[in-house]
């Protein structure tokens, strides 16, 4: 059995229950993780939140039901978990660009949102890691906020801009520096994140960041030439961990920031908080 099968079993469960109750508890059991880890895994691998994915699949299927059956729209709405026809109509219009009551009357395109299929082709690569416990510690940091999908593009630009300041460059180049990734507490419904350039030294115009005590899975990353931040590499590496390590490790992700750790000698680690 390929170790991607758990993820495809999750998709199969969703598909088989689009017109029934899709249980967080059942989805967590399929992956063997808690709810927070479930939503994190799905977003990081697919680029879409699990909540949005399920909503898109339901609305895609609902359009077919309207076209292919004689069911009342109110019954279809309730079938896919909407408590009122008005709520269903608004969501349907936002997704398809047409009201459900008009779908049989007008010749207009509707959207097909296909089910996701996970593949471990070119992803299931060897990982070097260790598990360690650390007490809480404090950093100072400079941050920006963005959607998770934008991070691989915006983080390298942020590092480049901030390191044009010679004071910041000297601090981060000559000491251990950090990329701190802080997730919105409502992670199941939003993919907003805050990214910090941080240090255990005092950065100018910075704020305090407290990193709580935790157990960490510490992954060894490649060294970047000339200290350049490679957003695409980080994105691919994290996808590998989220799809091929977390669901099979018996650990859950802890709801505290992740850390990119940069050592003055060029060594780089990614610290994933686990429990």
Copy the structure tokens of residue 63.
Answer: 């359009």
pLDDT over 60 at 146, yes or no: yes
Given the structure tokens 């520096």, which residue do they identify? 177
Mean pLDDT of the chain: 87
* The CATH number fitting domain 5-102, selected from 1.10.3210.10, 1.10.10.60, 3.10.105.10, 3.90.1720.10: 1.10.10.60
- The pLDDT assigned to 82 comes to 92
Given the structure tokens 């360690």, which residue do they identify? 132
Across 106-240, where does the E strand assignment appear? 129-134, 137-147, 177-183, 192-199, 207-211, 214-221
Given the structure tokens 């799809």, which residue do they identify? 243
According to DSSP, residue 83 is labeled: S
Q: What is the pLDDT of residues 5-61, one digit of tens each?
A: 888 999 999 999 999 889 999 999 999 999 999 998 898 888 888 999 999 999 999
Helix axes of 231-244 and 151-162: crossing angle, nearest 10 degrees: 140
Per the CB < 8 A criterion, the answer to whether 138 and 208 are in contact is: yes
Instruction: Report the share of the chain in percent with pLDDT over 90.
Output: 52
According to DSSP, residue 97 is labeled: S
Q: What is the pLDDT of residues 87-98, one digit of tens each?
A: 999 999 999 888
pTM over 0.85: no
- The pLDDT assigned to 9 comes to 93
Query: SS3 for 220?
Result: strand
| Residue range 65-74: mean pLDDT, rounded | 87
Q: Can you tell me the distance from the alpha carbon of 83 to that of 90, in angstroms, rounded to the nearest whole number?
A: 12
Per the CB < 8 A criterion, the answer to whether 152 and 234 are in contact is: yes
Query: SS3 for 126?
Result: coil
pLDDT over 80 at 252, yes or no: yes
The total of other beta-carbon atoms located within 10 Å of residue 198's CB is 28
Copy the structure tokens of residue 181.
Answer: 């990734």
Where do the domains of the chain lie?
A: 5-102, 129-274
Q: What is the pLDDT of residues 78-89, one digit of tens each?
A: 999 999 889 999
Nearest to 172, CA basis, from 257, 120, 252, 229: 229
* The CATH number fitting domain 129-274, selected from 3.20.80.10, 3.20.20.140, 1.10.260.40, 3.40.50.720: 3.20.80.10
Whether 5-102 shares its CATH topology with 129-274 is answered no
Q: Can you tell me the distance from the alpha carbon of 211 to that of 198, in angstroms, rounded to the nearest whole number?
A: 11
């Amino acid at each position: 059995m390929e170790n991607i099968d758990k993820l495809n079993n999750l998709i199969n469960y969703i598909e088989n229950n689009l017109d029934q109750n899709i249980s967080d508890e059942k989805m967590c059991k399929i992956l063997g993780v808690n709810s927070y880890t479930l939503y994190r895994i799905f977003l990081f691998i697919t680029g879409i939140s699990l909540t949005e994915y399920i909503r898109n699949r339901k609305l895609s299927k609902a359009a077919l039901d309207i076209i292919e059956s004689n069911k009342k729209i109110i019954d279809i709405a309730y079938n896919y978990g909407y408590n009122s026809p008005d709520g269903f109509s608004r969501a349907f219009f936002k997704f398809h660009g047409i009201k459900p009551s008009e779908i049989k009357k007008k010749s207009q395109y509707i959207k097909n949102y296909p089910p996701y299929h996970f593949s471990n082709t070119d992803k299931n690569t060897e990982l070097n890691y260790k598990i360690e416990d650390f007490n809480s510690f404090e950093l100072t940091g400079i941050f920006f906020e963005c959607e998770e999908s934008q991070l691989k593009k915006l983080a390298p630009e942020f590092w480049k801009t901030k390191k044009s300041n010679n004071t910041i460059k000297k601090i981060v180049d000559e000491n251990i520096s950090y990329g701190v990734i802080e997730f919105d507490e409502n992670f199941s419904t939003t993919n907003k994140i805050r990214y910090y350039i941080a240090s255990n030294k005092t950065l100018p115009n910075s704020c305090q960041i407290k990193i709580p005590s935790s157990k960490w899975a510490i992954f060894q990353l490649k060294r970047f030439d000339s200290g350049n931040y490679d957003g695409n590499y980080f994105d691919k590496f994290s996808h590998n961990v989220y799809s091929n390590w977390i669901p099979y490790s018996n650990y859950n992700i802890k709801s505290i920031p992740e850390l990119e750790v940069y050592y003055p000698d060029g060594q780089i680690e990614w610290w994933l908080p686990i429990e």
